[in-house]
């Protein structure tokens, strides 16, 4: 006797086994996450087959673990031709059972951390909770700090009170010459940060951060590579806004171009951050600071159109959601970078880069060209230090040569 699950999946017989009562709720959960009918059918049929196998092997709901999923896939392969997505379907089912507290969370035995790793983890906690630094900054600092501690203490116990200026100088002098200037400056910044942390803890009394050598490097060595205004207009015009994905991408690109937001700021934007009546946007910037920005009419219209006509139904509070299941916010800034990269490729534009930051540079350069002050530019871009904004005052000599008037007469 056939059985229909969630009005979409037809099984040759009703579900059997310990998971029979949970197949329909599982299907409903998948539907709410935005999985399409084809994927929904595959996952429900896998779950039904898994439940029958559990009954045959005498495994109850409370005993299910990831190992049972692996064993079932091996069993299934001997009887049915495997399909792409079978393993993911079972993983979704196991996650659903854990989420519904039907199966106990698996106990993962963590390996014992070394003395160096314990010190690094404590430093990471300090950066995240006390300093509220961005995840990207923490990720950049940690490898240098770990290398410094391993260089000084090896596999032994880390005793920060034994550090001296010579340790710091020797490590920096050995490592910096092998690196590009930008990477070497990041190394010295990480060392200063860690040594200030060690002093904050009371492990050292001297300010060893002052012993970190300064990496020789020209201030503002390169000119920001900003996308040109006509390229931005061409890119926006190329977006197909007849689909939900197109409406989303258009709104994202407008935010980048008109407000100069960072990728991470676009990703973390939530529905409650938009004050429609006041026409303002609250943006979470670096170091957990929030910037209040005016919401231009065209940007507000693009976001509103996406929310009304293009955004999938979801309990997620993020403004911009993935186009494919599971329907949730982007996992990180790379999601916005992917939107920019594919849009530029489709439009066939010879942009300075394929990244999202070029819109930020392009906006700042255009504002400066039209007479905006550095303080105004810095306020819009959320710069914490005025020196960060001064990079846009650099002149592109190569571009200016194309505008130079030939000198009259022959060269003497």
Could you give the residue numbers annotated as active site?
Answer: 262, 286, 357, 360, 383, 392
Instruction: Say what the alpha-carbon torsion angle 151, 157, 161, 166 is, to the nearest 10 degrees.
Output: -20
Query: Is 26 in contact with 72 (CB distance < 8 Å)?
Result: no
C-alpha span between 59 and 207 (Å, rounded)? 61
Structure tokens at 361: 């540079």
Of 318, 323, 319, which Cα lies nearest the Cα of 303? 319
**DSSP 8-state class, residue 316:** -
Structure tokens at 272: 């409650």
C-alpha span between 36 and 38 (Å, rounded)? 6
C-alpha span between 376 and 385 (Å, rounded)? 13
User: If 0-12 CB within 10 Å is exposed, 13-18 middle and 19+ buried, where does residue 362 land?
Assistant: buried
Query: Is 321 in contact with 328 (CB distance < 8 Å)?
Result: yes
**Would you call 5 helix, strand, or coil by DSSP?**
strand
How many Cβ atoms from other residues are within 10 Å of residue 53's Cβ? Answer: 16
Of 64, 59, 65, 51, which Cα lies nearest the Cα of 13? 51
Q: Which residue has the tokens 């059972």?
A: 97
CA angle 89, 92, 93 (to 5 degrees): 90
Instruction: Say what the alpha-carbon torsion angle 236, 237, 239, 244 is, to the nearest 10 degrees.
Output: 90
C-alpha span between 388 and 364 (Å, rounded)? 12
C-alpha span between 158 and 167 (Å, rounded)? 13
C-alpha span between 194 and 141 (Å, rounded)? 9
């Amino acid at each position: 006797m056939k059985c229909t699950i969630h009005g979409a999946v037809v099984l040759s017989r009703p579900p059997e086994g310990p998971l029979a009562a949970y197949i329909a709720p599982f299907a409903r959960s998948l539907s709410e996450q935005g999985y399409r009918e084809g994927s929904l059918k595959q996952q429900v049929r896998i779950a039904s087959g898994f439940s029958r196998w559990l009954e045959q092997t005498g495994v109850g709901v409370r005993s299910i673990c990831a190992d049972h999923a692996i064993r079932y896939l091996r069993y299934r392969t001997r009887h049915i031709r495997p399909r792409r997505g079978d393993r993911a379907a079972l993983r979704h089912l196991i996650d659903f059972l854990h989420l519904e507290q039907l199966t106990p969370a698996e106990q993962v035995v963590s390996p014992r951390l070394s003395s160096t790793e314990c010190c690094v983890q404590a430093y990471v906690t300090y950066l995240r909770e006390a300093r509220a630094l961005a995840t990207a900054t923490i990720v950049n600092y940690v490898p240098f700090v770990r290398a410094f501690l391993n260089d000084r203490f090896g596999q032994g116990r880390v005793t920060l009170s034994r550090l001296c200026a010579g340790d710091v100088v020797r490590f920096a002098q050995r490592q910096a010459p092998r690196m590009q200037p930008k990477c070497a400056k990041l190394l010295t910044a990480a060392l200063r940060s860690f040594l200030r942390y060690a002093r904050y803890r009371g492990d050292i009394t001297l300010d060893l951060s002052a012993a970190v050598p300064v990496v020789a490097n020209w201030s503002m060595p390169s000119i920001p590579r900003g996308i040109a205004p006509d390229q931005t207009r061409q890119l926006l015009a190329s977006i197909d806004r007849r689909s939900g994905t197109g409406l989303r991408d258009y709104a994202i690109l407008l935010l980048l171009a008109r407000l100069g937001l960072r990728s991470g700021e676009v990703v973390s934007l939530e529905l409650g951050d938009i004050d429609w009546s006041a026409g303002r946007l609250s943006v979470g910037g670096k170091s957990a600071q929030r910037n209040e920005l005016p919401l231009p009419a065209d940007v507000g219209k693009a976001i509103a159109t996406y929310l009304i006509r293009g955004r999938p139904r979801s309990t997620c509070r993020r403004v911009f959601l993935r186009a494919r299941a599971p329907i949730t916010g982007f996992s990180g800034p790379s999601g916005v970078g992917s939107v920019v990269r594919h849009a530029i490729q489709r439009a066939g534009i010879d942009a300075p880069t394929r990244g999202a930051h070029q819109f930020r540079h392009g906006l700042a350069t255009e504002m400066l060209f039209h007479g905006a002050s550095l303080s105004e530019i810095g306020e819009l871009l959320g710069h914490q230090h005025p020196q960060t904004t001064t990079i846009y005052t650099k002149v592109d000599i190569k571009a200016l040569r194309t505008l130079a008037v030939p000198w009259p007469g022959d060269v003497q």
